[in-house]
Amino acid sequence: MTEMSLKELFDVGVNFESAVGQGTKNERARIPKNYSRIILEEDKIEFLKNIDFEVNFLVSGEIWCPDFQINVSILKKFCDINSNFNLSIITMARGKKYLSSILNIDKENFKGPTVCVLDKNFNLKGIFEERPTSVKSVEDFESIKLDYYKGRYIPDSVNDFFKILNTL
């Protein structure tokens, strides 16, 4: 199997709008709804604005996935706040084929979206997989699924991303 580096994967990815554009009408309609639910406190906005170095988000995921619709919309919001943030999206198939081995994740356990937070030299600084930690720790996802899909856990995803950004 041919290998690809994180930079090569980032370079072949598409932007947020292109990834969303591949969705059905209903899938595309969920994006502005999710985006409008991302309410950031002023200190979080200031933190994002004050990052004065390049941060690259490499995402493996698909628009039909509700986890993608929610969590990648958060990254889009981050990019809208600070032009030092770049977002590139590759398919799940490409993620399983190339990214899983880079991240030492078994292909069968590779989840979407998988977000790699990279510095300007495409060094891996952190990973976000599928859902926020708080949601993954709930034993019975079905019991919170509706709240999760309605955006109640967006702040938890934001906090998980901030934990990674705070290490940069």
User: Taking a C-beta distance cutoff of 8 angstroms, is the pair 125, 118 a contact?
Assistant: yes
pLDDT for 123-153, tens place per residue?
999 999 999 999 999 999 999 999 999 999 9
Mean pLDDT of the region 23-34: 96
H or E element at residue 58 = strand 55-60
Taking CA atoms, 109 is separated from 52, 91, 97, 103, 137, in Å, by: 35, 16, 12, 12, 17
Q: Give the whole-number percent of the chain exceeding pLDDT 70.
A: 99
Bond before 113 cis per omega within 30 degrees: yes
Instruction: Count CB neighbours of 67 within 10 A.
Output: 20
- pLDDT value at 88 more than 70: yes
What residue ranges define each of the domains in the chain, with the CATH number in brackets? 6-165 (3.40.30.10)
Q: Give the whole-number percent of the chain exceeding pLDDT 90.
A: 98
What is the pLDDT at residue 155? 97
3-state secondary structure of 129: strand
C-alpha to C-alpha distance for 113 and 101, rounded to whole angstroms: 16
What is the pLDDT at residue 2? 72
What is the pLDDT at residue 1? 52
